[in-house]
Structure 1
Amino acid sequence: MIYSRDRILTTHVGSLPRNETLSELLIRREAGENYDTKVMAAELDKAVQHVVDQQANAGIDVGNDGEQQRVGFQTYVPQRMEGFGGVSNRRRGKEFDDFPELVANLQRRFPHMSKQTNAPQCQSELKYRDIKPLQDEIARFKKIAGSRFSECFMTAASPGIISSTMLDAYYGSQDKYLSALSREMKHEYHEIHKAGLILQIDAPDLAMDRTMMYRDLSDAQFIGAVERHIQAINDGIEGIPADRVRLHVCYGNWEGPHIHDIPLEKILPALYQAKVGALSIEFSNPRHAHEYAAFKKHPLPKHMLLVPGVIETTSNFVEHPEVVARRIEEAVAAVGERERVIASTDCGFGTFTKREWVIEPVVWLKLKSLREGADIASARIWGKKNAA
């Protein structure tokens, strides 16, 4: 994993907006409906080329395929793994119960989404049946990306977020379910690593699920659940060097009050148990922008990089580069070493197909501002006239 050796590098969390034609095809594939495979392949080629071009043009150093080839950041898993069927009755976040107006607003804004709260459940023994779709994703991305990025990454869902969004109706315990998911997702994690890409484990469960699946627990009990979820990640990535894995943690990528979120300070020691080389954490969310202070109490381990979110992903405001620069400088001050900070976004811009909070043109402007802000911060931190 590359460091910010002579300037602050930039990346993002993973998902980017999908075009309308591709979105329809992905939803049809998810629903098991007929679709033209040749048309799908052509649309995937076009979409990946588009997001690679846009990332490169914006100045992103560590890029990916924008998750163009998946219907959602974790709901793609049942298409590749035996054992899923029916519908999960996923528990909503506490704030959605507190504010029914928020639910109504979401339903008006996103009336035709891919499966989210109604994703399949685990109904029989899990078995990863087909690695070829992932191999095709990797091949397409590597062919199109070439050498346009300093480093490339690919995302994969954590066992924990799969378990809390596609509920267990077979194993009978969360512990057994997590063990099965670790065992099977290991195929995916190792395939990404074998391809020479940085593996990003997407694990919003490590923070978000405090207000969802584990909302009835105490904070201490939730920390215990987080530790078990992290053990599941560690089991799945066993054999992959820590410096080839980064872990994304967030509080849920929606525009809401977030008043029930657990403070970062409480979960940070548990996150350090992950055998990874970088932590991707949101800090532009207005409920969490102050939480760099958590690193004073719990310093970032020397082997870890921090990938702070310095761009917010649920509003169409384009952050001024100076605002981005100040956020980066605060992150560097919290870590204590400029080399161990890579500037990023809070979360993805296309977490689920047809649920994009930010319009596409603004996404590219936000990434451009990310690069410009990183250059401003670099010039100040390194003392150069032009750090770019």
Structure 2
Amino acid sequence: MHRSEDRILTTHVGSLPRNEVLSDLLIRQELGEPVDEAELARQSEAAVRHVVRAQSDCGVDIVNDGEQPRVGFQTYVAQRMTGFGGESARPRPRDYVDFPSLLAQHRQRFPRRSKVSNAPQAIAAVSYDDLSAAEEECRMFGAALASLDTPPADAFMTAASPGIVATTMLNAHYDSHEAYVFALAREMRKEYQRIARDYVLQIDAPDLAMERSVLFHDKSVAEFIAIAEMHVAALNEALAGIPRERVRLHCCWGNYDGPHIHDVPLAEVLPVLTQARVGALSVEFANPRHQHEYAALKRIGLPPEFLLLPGVIDSTTNYVEHPEVIANRICEAVDAVGDRSRVIASSDCGFGTFAGSELVAEDVVWAKLRSCRDGAAIATRRLWGRD
């Protein structure tokens, strides 16, 4: 991961839509139903090749494997580690409590999807003893990259933060939430190190913002910030030894098209996010609830060791943002950071965070990424005075 001195690069947050066959296999596997493992492996590999080539065709500079072999951006962890079982009773987001018709609508829209609120819980000491699934995912991604005619500028792979695992797959074993989070950090460290060996590592950490209105909705902002700081301390322990420039951190307020009226402001969490020993920060700025957050970023400032990956395309709507709109957003991000070389245009969040619950149609996703490329080209001409 590097600064670009001659143009604005593009990337995205990570997950991309899966095809129906692969989604069905992943959901059935998660439910414990019998599946053809060889067919699942074939479908996963084909899907990784498809999304890698599609990203390349769209002009994405920094690509990934789209999380195709994973049932969910963080719930995949329960399939790779031991110590999980049963079901968590995760609280509903406050948006669903305040707007029950929204909950009913979302249930109708996604009648069959992977587990979210009812994911397994920690029923014993968690342990990551078998890295074979992570190894295989890295291999598939590498093979897909090797098949491209032109290599991308860089490649990344995602992994769940200890905090989002702990707040999704709840604790029914450890003496405290903190003990659970640090136990997860010690074990997830193995996956982080494996990914960082070959690719830029992206840590997905919506727990550092979203959980203010979910698991910790009954806490004050000050109490939530203290919890988030503990989550970052655990993450830093897990990242020890991995160079900062090999890690990017994604934080968001939940990837769904809801009111988001209880979202904690960026100004409250930004000082926590910058405590993470990472080299780049990925944050939502495109959706209607957070388009104003550049003001907080400009006021507080981003430490010089951080790149910014601003969301300039929304991951919850099928509108394809106009390239001029995207260019405006990129220029606003550059103005907030104060350095054009430290901004990489991205999406707000993933486009396929859970199997079976994609909000944006696949062909629209590619159109959005092409528009992001075109918007980055316009911003480049403006920022480098090439008009």
TM range (shorter): over 0.9
Where 1:12 maps in the other structure, the secondary structure is: coil
TM-score by structure 2 length?
0.98
Q: Quote the offset at 1:27 in angstroms.
A: 1.0
Match of 1:285 among 284, 287, 301: 287
Match of 1:154 among 141, 147, 157: 157
Q: Deviations over 1:151-202 (max 9, x none)?
A: 00000000000000000000020110011000100000000012x2000000
Match of 1:295 among 272, 297, 301: 297
Q: Quote the offset at 1:129 in angstroms.
A: 2.2
Structure 1 partner of 2:311? 309
Where 1:22 maps in the other structure, the secondary structure is: helix
Structure 2 partner of 1:271? 273
Q: Deviations over 1:232-253 (max 9, x none)?
A: 1101111101110000000000
Distance 2:137 2:94 in 1: 36
Structure 2 partner of 1:349? 351
Task: Kindly provide the amino acid, as one letter, of the partner of residue 47 in structure 1.
Answer: A
Distance 2:10 2:264 in 1: 27
Q: Quote the offset at 1:37 in angstroms.
A: 2.1
Structure 2 partner of 1:103? 103
1:239 aligns with 2:241: yes
Structure 1 partner of 2:68? 68
TM-score by structure 1 length?
0.98
Match of 2:232 among 227, 230, 233: 230
Q: Deviations over 1:318-346 (max 9, x none)?
A: 00000000000000000000000000000
Structure 2 partner of 1:173? 176
Structure 2 partner of 1:36? 36
Distance 2:63 2:318 in 1: 22
Task: Kindly provide the amino acid, as one letter, of the partner of residue 292 in structure 1.
Answer: Y
Structure 2 partner of 1:250? 252
Task: Kindly provide the amino acid, as one letter, of the partner of residue 59 in structure 2.
Answer: G
Structure 2 partner of 1:129? 129
Distance 2:183 2:383 in 1: 46
Structure 2 partner of 1:82? 82
Q: Deviations over 1:299-323 (max 9, x none)?
A: 1000000000000011100000000
Where 1:279 maps in the other structure, the secondary structure is: strand
Following TM superposition, the consecutive aligned residue runs of length 4 or more in structure 1 with deviations greater than 4 angstroms are: none
Greater Cα shift, 294-303 or 102-111: 294-303
* Aligned residue runs from structure 1 range 39-58, under 5 A: 39-58=39-58
Distance 2:366 2:287 in 1: 19
Q: Quote the offset at 1:4 in angstroms.
A: 2.0
Structure 2 partner of 1:202? 204
Greater Cα shift, 295-304 or 270-279: 295-304
Task: Kindly provide the amino acid, as one letter, of the partner of residue 160 in structure 1.
Answer: G
1:13 aligns with 2:16: no
Distance 1:98 1:37 in 2: 42
Q: Quote the offset at 1:34 in angstroms.
A: 1.7
Task: Kindly provide the amino acid, as one letter, of the partner of residue 28 in structure 2.
Answer: R
Extract unaligned runs of 5+ from structure 2.
Answer: none
Where 2:379 maps in the other structure, the secondary structure is: helix
Q: Deviations over 1:19-68 (max 9, x none)?
A: 01111111122122221122112211211111011100111000000000
Where 1:290 maps in the other structure, the secondary structure is: helix
Task: Kindly provide the amino acid, as one letter, of the partner of residue 369 in structure 1.
Answer: S
1:328 aligns with 2:330: yes
Task: Kindly provide the amino acid, as one letter, of the partner of residue 51 in structure 1.
Answer: V
Equivalent residues, number: 384
Structure 1 partner of 2:191? 188
Where 1:295 maps in the other structure, the secondary structure is: helix
Distance 2:46 2:126 in 1: 33
Structure 1 partner of 2:219? 217
Q: Quote the offset at 1:296 in angstroms.
A: 2.6
Distance 2:178 2:371 in 1: 43
Structure 1 partner of 2:263? 261
Where 1:23 maps in the other structure, the secondary structure is: helix
> What do you get for the CA RMSD once the two structures are aligned?
0.8
1:376 aligns with 2:381: no
Where 2:262 maps in the other structure, the secondary structure is: coil
